[in-house]
């Protein structure tokens, strides 16, 4: 690592997240003056232009890749047009123990004087809750599901390679062609298209202008800098003059081109998962090879540029989240995710020189952001897998590992073309999507075990005494009970989808994303916004949570109530209501003498498959409002902790308010037959009919101690993937170290662990999540 | 059988499932699987895990478990597993069950994909698997039909005919050698090493792959004199086999209490330096020596002398 990178990395780690009210202030100014003068898309584009013209820009000492989302690193803008934080919210943000953001008093003042008075009642969040039906709000408050769009825009997408080939000016030329083709005589939507296309054009200009402001600033700074830095600043100025307007000419320009597009996306709206470069190794390889060939680039220089690029992601904590959204996604990570390896557009091995370089970068940098992963296909050589395993061994939770062949099959099942499927990958936590062509929007988590609790109480939530489900009546057999749960699942999916349909339309009408629309095919060709169905593919996901817990619950009821008749259903429910107080033998029997998911035990796993199918059938294929369908994902972020906190004791012996199982991992500690049995159990679910599943596995470092351990890890992964597993990620830390970090957090601030679809600083996690990570089974290999 | 352990990575090449057969003619003083020694089922009781609920007392029709004691009175115990069935958390269990080859294969085939990815397979261990040679031969045949790689981990204390029959069906024999001196071997394991050494000489004329495994127990078999004898013996065989040193560990000792067996003398766990010195003195005989879990890569194929 060069001294430059060391210093940039250290500064990024040291800077504390804070709230910047600059964006909120500028947006308020703009809207006070302009609201009502333009169509919504053009108004949005002009507000984006207003920001790009005026926001403070920043070039840090030693930086080679430039541009910040806020006025300085870790200063985090807010989006009052979507979520207007109250003063109380700001106080919570600044004072809460985990994922806090410092709130400067000027920011608080701006909110009090300008932002809140204008946006209260106008923000998307305020308006959503006025529209959403009572039954939706009841289920939401009970913790049956969450709603991603209550504080943030849809987002959830990834770039393809067009910006490196066309530049924004190239895309603008296509917009002008489309404008010229508009047929107002025959096309009733021609005006809508016109407004949308104009908005996209303005947004492209805004981002180009924003880049050029950096060129101006760099030249200014060069005047006062010492000669070596002055030379770099002049080069930075040249780069910012060129990209993203025109296609990049070299490796440096390519990285900077992406970065300005990234900034555009995350400045326009606060979409989920920020934005991601997708197949970075494949996008960069022509520039890398050309630079090596003409001598203008060498491996060290390329690595330094990549590391400067890496730091930029880490400078951006997620936009501040409050309430349920903070609980379901309690992290600074904003889920930008970089894909390495996989297939080329021709379907060949996609691992190249840059892939290996990226693995080196991950190993050297080990910082929170960007998330990164390898896409592993049958076509990729073992050398590539081993190189990744050597990084995994260090235990930062990076990179996570995806099955590129399974991702392709998932895309094809959803009706994508083979070409688009090959360019697909995964982003966010584990979500598969066709990069540059798809809006694959996560709508919220869905609490499968809570619905059993409600079923066992005939539709009433025992936590609040409120009836929110169907009265399905008493159940005399296991099948009766299962069917009752299945009916309740469908009931709540209906409620969830009804809400999501409204929310989709509200974003389509009131919060278009013209800049993002430039980057995703076929928004320009259709003259239709990303948020309104402009993308080639439009998928809405509901993410199932607690498949391990719900399986063990049903298995426990089947075994002990209906098969062995050890306890009656009524007595079991009573014991659960008392959180098994004074009934430890019953609790122990439920937990220990039940066939449990994760042991390759068909008795339990067949129940898992049944639960999965019930959820799948309730969701998959329903039409959304954007011309696409609802699908399922199986991932939790941190929502299994939140969902656990609203769910009482469960029939698997789980105590009240403790976390549910995460992703498709077994309940913490339930798996006793080692990693191959976990993989086998998990693979009995049909991953290819989801858009992503998340499996977490923890290894003690000694398992991966030598080259042989590296090989074994690779073989385990290959073995899981031949069973069509979608994803696996590894924590390689021992429980003792984690306990030590709990006792002395100050000494272990840098400890990164894999949480669920992303890695996080262990000490930034809530106590219950920390405990849970410690409790996750350590898979010690036994000789 | 007393256990099937999946994802074993030190009982032969690749990712393996190890099948532990119960019953062993040897009584090694350092045995790390004391539950493997007796051929029949045994009660295991984990005091730390027990929640003292009393379900086992209530379940026992013979009243063989007195309050305050943990193991059934052998005079009263009917040998049923009612008490273990009643235990809510498995702190009381029966170790050892009868299984037919078909059932065993149901488990073995589950990890076939992992065997194929890693060059792994199944290892039959014990106890002494050759003590149940007809079962073992049937299982080996079943694996061969499915193309699953097999290894047999044996003490070598068996009838020549059985040892050769197994060697002809297995892909690999993991052959344990404890001590070359017969008198010392009797002291340490309770049996003579003569059949063990003779069987190994006989195996050396067969085409089967063999890895020699030596549990390295400080003060027992790691002295220079013994290593000289051992190296000399191995070098004198028809073929040079790779040698794996298995450093002694104490993990087996905690099982004694659970089985109601008396405590025993503990040995030191050998230091890395000591292990390396032992490995070097065997290497001086031209042998390939590996240390379990320490050295990268698989050992090379045995070379013909």
Q: Cα–Cα distance between A148 and B289 in angstroms, integer?
A: 59
- Among chain B residues, the shortest Cα distance to A704 is held by B293
Nearest to A145 by CA among A489, A439, A631: A489
Give the count of beta carbons closer than 10 Å to the beta carbon of residue B261: 14
CA distance A567 to chain B (A): 13
User: Which residue in B9, B51, B117 is closest to A719 by CB distance?
Assistant: B117
| Cβ-based interface (< 8 Å): residues of A facing B | 584-586, 588-589, 591-593, 600, 673-677, 679-680, 705-709, 711-712, 715-716, 718-719, 722-723, 779, 781-783
Do A691 and A430 touch, CB atoms closer than 8 A?
A: no
Chain A environment of B14 (Cβ under 8 Å): 715
Task: Report cis status (omega within 30 of 0) of the bond before A735.
Answer: no
User: Which residue in B114, B293, B297 is closest to A719 by CB distance?
Assistant: B114
Quote the DSSP letter at residue B82: H
Chain B environment of A589 (Cβ under 8 Å): 88-89
Do B167 and B136 touch, CB atoms closer than 8 A?
A: no
ipTM at complex level: 0.92
Specify the residue for token string 């500064």.
Answer: A11
**How many Cβ pairs closer than 8 A exist between chain A and B?**
89
Cβ <8 Å between A676 and B8: no
Task: Provide the edge-to-edge strand list for the sheet that holds A438-447.
Answer: A438-447, A537-545, A629-633
Give the count of beta carbons closer than 10 Å to the beta carbon of residue A158: 30
pLDDT per position as a tens digit, B189-224: 999 999 999 999 999 989 999 999 999 999 999 999
Average pLDDT of the residues in B256-280: 87
pLDDT of residue A125: 96
What one-character-per-residue DSSP string does B161-187 give?
Answer: HHHHHHHHH-SEEEEE---SSHHHHHH
Largest separation between any pair of C-alpha atoms in chain B: 65
User: Which residue in B10, B89, B292 is closest to A588 by CB distance?
Assistant: B89
- Among chain B residues, the shortest Cα distance to A675 is held by B7
Chain B environment of A676 (Cβ under 8 Å): 6-7, 15, 110-111, 114
What are A286's two structure tokens? 């022509």
Specify the residue for token string 């057969």.
Answer: B21
| Confidence band, pLDDT 50/70/90 cuts, at residue B1 | very high
User: Which residue in B55, B88, B110 is closest to A600 by CB distance?
Assistant: B110
Active-site residue, selected from the candidate residues A429, A528, A611, A639: A429
Chain B environment of A592 (Cβ under 8 Å): 88-90
Three-state secondary structure call for residue A728: strand
Across A596-695, the runs of DSSP E, i.e. the strands, are 629-633
pLDDT of residue A701: 65
Please state the separation of Cα A427 from the chain's center in Å: 7
Cβ <8 Å between A676 and B7: yes
Q: In this predicted model, which residue has the larger pLDDT, B35 or A568? A: A568
User: Which residue in B6, B55, B296 is closest to A706 by CB distance?
Assistant: B296
Cβ <8 Å between A719 and B15: yes
Does A52 participate in catalysis according to the annotation? no
- Among chain A residues, the shortest Cα distance to B3 is held by A673
pLDDT of residue B302: 38
Q: For chain B, count helices (H), then strands (E).
A: 11, 12
Torsion of CA A406, A411, A416, A420, to 10 degrees: -70
- H/E/C letters for each residue in A649-675? CCCCCCCCCCCCCCCCCCCCCCCCCHH
Q: Which helix (H) or strand (E) holds A79?
A: none
What are A688's two structure tokens? 């290819």
Return the residue in A721, A777, A781 with the most chain B beta carbons within 10 A, the one to mutate for interface testing: A781
Which of A544-548, B56-60, B101-105, B218-222 has the lowest average pLDDT? B56-60
**Residue A274 Rama label (left phi>0; alpha psi -120 to 50; beta):** left
Give the count of beta carbons closer than 10 Å to the beta carbon of residue B85: 15
Nearest to A201 by CA among A153, A163, A169: A169
Which residues have C-beta within 8 Å of that of residue A112, sequence separation ≥ 6?
A: A87
CA distance B290 to chain A (A): 13
What one-character-per-residue DSSP string does B116-155 give?
Answer: HHHT-EEEEESS-GGGGHHHHHHHHHHHHHHT-EEEEEE-
Cβ <8 Å between A680 and B110: yes
| Cβ-based interface (< 8 Å): residues of B facing A | 5-11, 14-15, 51, 53, 55, 88-90, 110-111, 113-114, 116-118, 120, 292-297
Cβ <8 Å between B297 and A718: no
Q: Is B301 a residue whose pLDDT tops 70?
A: no
Strands B239-240, B303-304: parallel, antiparallel or unpaired by DSSP?
antiparallel
Q: Cα–Cα distance between A717 and A683 in angstroms, integer?
A: 12
Which residues have C-beta within 8 Å of that of residue B13, sequence separation ≥ 6?
A: B118, B119, B120, B121, B149, B172, B298
- Among chain B residues, the shortest Cα distance to A724 is held by B113
User: Which residue in A677, A680, A783 is closest to B9 by CB distance?
Assistant: A783
Do A343 and A351 touch, CB atoms closer than 8 A?
A: no
User: Which residue in B8, B10, B15 is closest to A715 by CB distance?
Assistant: B15
User: Which residue in A589, A716, A723 is closest to B88 by CB distance?
Assistant: A589
Chain A environment of B19 (Cβ under 8 Å): none
- Rg over alpha carbons for chain A, rounded to the nearest Å, is 26
What are B219's two structure tokens? 């003060």
Nearest to A232 by CA among A258, A246, A248, A252: A252
CA distance A566 to chain B (A): 11
What are A569's two structure tokens? 């259903």
Does A431 participate in catalysis according to the annotation? yes
pLDDT of residue A191: 97
pLDDT of residue A746: 66
- Among chain A residues, the shortest Cα distance to B118 is held by A715
Q: Which residues of chain A have pLDDT under 70?
A: 700-703, 705, 746-760, 776-783
Which residues have C-beta within 8 Å of that of residue A656, sequence separation ≥ 6?
A: A579, A647, A648, A649
- Among chain A residues, the shortest Cα distance to B90 is held by A592
- Start-to-end CA span in chain B (Å): 38
- Among chain B residues, the shortest Cα distance to A681 is held by B110
pLDDT of residue B284: 95
What are A192's two structure tokens? 């809508």
Beta bridge partners of B18: B5, B123
Torsion of CA B281, B283, B289, B294, to 10 degrees: 60
Chain A environment of B55 (Cβ under 8 Å): 585
Half-sphere exposure of A318 (CA within 13 A, CB side): 27
Positive/negative CA dihedral, A401, A406, A410, A412: positive
Return the residue in A586, A670, A708 with the most chain B beta carbons within 10 A, the one to mutate for interface testing: A708
| Confidence band, pLDDT 50/70/90 cuts, at residue B305 | very low
Task: Report cis status (omega within 30 of 0) of the bond before A244.
Answer: yes
Q: Cα–Cα distance between A382 and A390 in angstroms, integer?
A: 12
Chain B environment of A783 (Cβ under 8 Å): 8-11, 292-293
Q: Cα–Cα distance between A558 and A555 in angstroms, integer?
A: 5
CA distances from B145 to A86, B109, B137, B149 (A): 71, 12, 12, 10
Across A645-750, the runs of DSSP E, i.e. the strands, are 696-699, 727-732
Q: Cα–Cα distance between A454 and A561 in angstroms, integer?
A: 18
User: Which residue in A584, A718, A719 is closest to B51 by CB distance?
Assistant: A584
pLDDT per position as a tens digit, A615-660: 999 999 999 999 999 999 999 888 999 999 999 999 999 999 999 9
Nearest to A731 by CA among A719, A713, A715, A718: A713
What are B10's two structure tokens? 């030190």
Nearest to A315 by CA among A60, A74, A8, A65: A74
Give the count of beta carbons closer than 10 Å to the beta carbon of residue A713: 26
Torsion of CA A713, A714, A718, A719, to 10 degrees: -30
CA distance B6 to chain A (A): 6
pLDDT per position as a tens digit, A423-466: 999 999 999 999 999 999 999 999 999 999 999 999 999 999 99
- Among chain A residues, the shortest Cα distance to B91 is held by A592
Cβ <8 Å between B296 and A715: no
What one-character-per-residue DSSP string does A200-251 give?
Answer: HHHHHHHHHHHHHHHHHHHHHHHHHS-HHHHHHHHHHHHHHHHTTTS---SH
Chain B environment of A719 (Cβ under 8 Å): 15, 111, 113-114, 116-118
- Among chain A residues, the shortest Cα distance to B87 is held by A589
User: Which residue in B7, B15, B297 is closest to A707 by CB distance?
Assistant: B297
Chain A environment of B5 (Cβ under 8 Å): 674, 782
Beta bridge partners of B239: B304
pLDDT of residue A85: 97
CA distance A669 to chain B (A): 13
CA distances from A105 to A112, A212, A606 (A): 10, 32, 57
CA distance B134 to chain A (A): 26
Which residues have C-beta within 8 Å of that of residue A672, sequence separation ≥ 6?
A: A599, A777
Chain B environment of A675 (Cβ under 8 Å): 7
Nearest to A354 by CA among A338, A370, A368: A338
pLDDT of residue B45: 87
Specify the residue for token string 């830095």.
Answer: A229
Q: Is B254 a residue whose pLDDT tops 90?
A: no
Specify the residue for token string 């996560």.
Answer: A442
Do A539 and A631 touch, CB atoms closer than 8 A?
A: yes
Return the residue in A712, A724, A777 with the most chain B beta carbons within 10 A, the one to mutate for interface testing: A712
């Amino acid at each position: 690592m060069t001294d430059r990178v060391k210093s940039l990395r250290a500064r990024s780690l040291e800077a504390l997240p804070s709230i910047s009210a600059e964006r909120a202030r500028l947006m308020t100014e703009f809207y006070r003056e302009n609201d009502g003068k333009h169509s919504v898309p053009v108004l949005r584009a002009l507000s984006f232009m207003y920001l790009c013209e005026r926001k403070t820009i920043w070039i840090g000492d030693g930086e080679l890749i430039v541009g910040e989302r806020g006025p300085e690193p870790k200063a985090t803008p807010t989006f009052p047009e979507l979520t207007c934080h109250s003063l109380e919210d700001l106080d919570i943000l600044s004072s809460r123990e985990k994922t806090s953001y410092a709130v400067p008093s000027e920011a608080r003042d701006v909110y009090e004087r300008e932002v809140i008075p204008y946006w209260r009642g106008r923000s998307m969040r305020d308006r959503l809750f006025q529209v959403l039906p009572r039954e939706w709000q009841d289920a939401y408050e009970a913790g049956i599901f969450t709603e991603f769009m209550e504080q943030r825009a849809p987002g959830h997408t990834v770039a393809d390679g067009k910006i490196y080939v066309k530049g924004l000016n190239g895309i603008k030329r296509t917009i002008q062609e489309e404008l010229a083709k508009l047929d107002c005589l025959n096309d009733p939507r021609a005006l809508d298209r016109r407004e949308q296309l104009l908005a996209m054009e303005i947004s492209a200009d805004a981002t180009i202008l924003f880049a050029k402001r950096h060129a101006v600033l760099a030249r200014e700074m060069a005047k006062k800098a010492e000669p070596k830095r002055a030379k770099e600043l002049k080069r930075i100025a040249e780069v910012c003059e060129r990209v993203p307007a025109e296609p990049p000419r070299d490796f440096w320009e390519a990285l900077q081109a992406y970065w300005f597009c990234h900034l555009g996306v995350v400045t326009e709206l606060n979409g989920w998962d920020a934005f991601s470069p997708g197949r970075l190794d494949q996008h960069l390889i022509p520039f890398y090879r050309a630079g090596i060939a003409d001598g203008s680039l060498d491996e060290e220089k390329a690595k330094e540029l990549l590391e400067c690029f890496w730091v930029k992601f880490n400078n951006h904590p997620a936009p501040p989240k409050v309430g349920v959204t903070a609980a379901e996604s309690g992290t600074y990570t904003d889920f930008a995710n970089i894909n390495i390896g996989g297939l080329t557009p021709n379907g060949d091995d996609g691992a190249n020189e840059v892939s290996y370089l990226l693995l080196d970068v991950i190993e050297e940098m080990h910082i929170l952001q960007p998330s990164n992963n390898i896409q592993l296909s049958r076509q990729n050589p073992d050398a590539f897998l081993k190189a990744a395993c050597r990084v995994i061994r260090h235990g930062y939770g990076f990179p996570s590992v995806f099955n590129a062949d399974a991702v392709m099959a998932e895309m094809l099942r959803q009706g994508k073309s083979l070409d688009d499927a090959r360019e697909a990958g995964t982003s966010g936590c584990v979500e598969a999507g066709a990069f540059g062509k798809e809006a694959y929007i996560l709508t919220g988590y869905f609490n499968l075990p809570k619905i059993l609790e409600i079923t066992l109480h005939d539709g009433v939530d025992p936590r609040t005494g409120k009836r929110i489900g169907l009265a399905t009546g008493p159940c005399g057999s296991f099948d009766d009970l299962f069917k009752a749960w299945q009916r309740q699942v469908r009931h709540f999916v209906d409620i969830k989808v009804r809400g999501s349909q409204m929310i989709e339309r509200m974003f389509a009408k009131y919060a278009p994303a013209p800049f993002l629309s430039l980057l995703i095919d076929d928004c320009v060709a259709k003259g239709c916004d990303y948020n309104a169905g402009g993308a080639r593919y439009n998928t809405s996901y509901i993410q199932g949570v607690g498949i391990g817990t719900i399986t063990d619950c049903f298995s426990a009821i089947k075994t002990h109530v209906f098969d062995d008749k050890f306890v009656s259903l009524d007595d079991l429910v009573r014991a659960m209501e008392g959180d098994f107080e004074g009934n430890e033998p019953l609790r122990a029997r439920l937990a220990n003498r039940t066939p449990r998911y994760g042991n390759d035990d068909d008795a339990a796993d067949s129940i898992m498959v049944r639960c999965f199918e019930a959820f799948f059938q309730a969701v998959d294929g329903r039409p959304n409002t954007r011309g696409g369908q609802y699908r399922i994902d199986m991932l939790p972020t941190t929502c299994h902790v939140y969902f656990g906190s609203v769910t009482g004791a469960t029939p698997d012996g789980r105590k009240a308010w403790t976390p549910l199982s995460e992703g498709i991992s077994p309940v913490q500690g339930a798996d006793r037959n080692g990693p191959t049995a976990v993989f086998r159990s998990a693979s009995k679910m049909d991953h290819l009919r989801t858009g992503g599943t998340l499996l977490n596995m923890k290894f003690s470092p000694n398992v991966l101690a030598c080259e042989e351990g590296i090989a074994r890890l690779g073989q385990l992964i290959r073995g899981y993937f031949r069973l069509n597993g979608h994803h696996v990620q590894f924590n390689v830390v021992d429980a003792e170290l984690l306990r030590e970090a709990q006792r002395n957090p100050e000494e272990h601030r840098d400890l990164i662990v894999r949480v669920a679809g992303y890695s996080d600083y262990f000490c930034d996690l809530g106590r219950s999540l920390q405990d849970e990570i410690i409790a996750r089974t350590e898979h010690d290999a036994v000789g | 059988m007393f256990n099937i352990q999946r994802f074993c990575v030190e009982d032969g090449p690749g990712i393996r499932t190890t099948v532990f057969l119960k019953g062993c003619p040897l009584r090694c003083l350092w045995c790390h699987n004391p539950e493997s020694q007796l051929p029949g089922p045994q009660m295991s009781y984990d005091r730390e895990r027990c929640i003292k609920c009393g379900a086992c007392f209530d379940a026992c029709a013979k009243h063989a478990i007195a309050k305050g004691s943990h193991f059934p009175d052998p005079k009263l115990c009917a040998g049923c597993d009612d008490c273990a069935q009643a235990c809510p958390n498995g702190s009381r269990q029966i170790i050892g069950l009868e299984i037919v080859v078909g059932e065993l294969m149901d488990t073995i085939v589950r990890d076939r994909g992992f065997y194929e990815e890693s060059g792994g397979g199944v290892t039959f261990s014990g106890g002494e698997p050759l003590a149940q040679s007809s079962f073992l031969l049937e299982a080996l045949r079943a694996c061969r039909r499915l193309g699953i790689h097999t290894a047999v981990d044996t003490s070598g204390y068996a009838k020549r005919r059985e040892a050769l029959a197994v060697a002809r069906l297995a892909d690999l024999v993991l052959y344990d050698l404890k001590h070359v001196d017969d008198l010392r071997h009797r002291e340490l394991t309770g049996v003579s090493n003569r059949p063990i050494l003779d069987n190994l000489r006989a195996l050396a004329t067969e085409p089967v792959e063999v890895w020699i495994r030596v549990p390295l127990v400080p003060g027992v078999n790691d002295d220079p004199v013994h290593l000289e004898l051992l190296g000399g013996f191995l070098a004198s065989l028809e073929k040079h086999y790779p040698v794996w040193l298995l450093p002694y560990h104490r993990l087996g000792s905690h099982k004694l209490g659970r089985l109601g067996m008396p405590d025993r003398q503990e040995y030191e766990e050998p230091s890395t330096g000591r292990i390396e010195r032992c490995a070097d003195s065997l290497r001086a005989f031209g042998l390939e020596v590996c240390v379990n879990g320490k050295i990268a890569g698989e050992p090379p194929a045995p070379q013909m002398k």
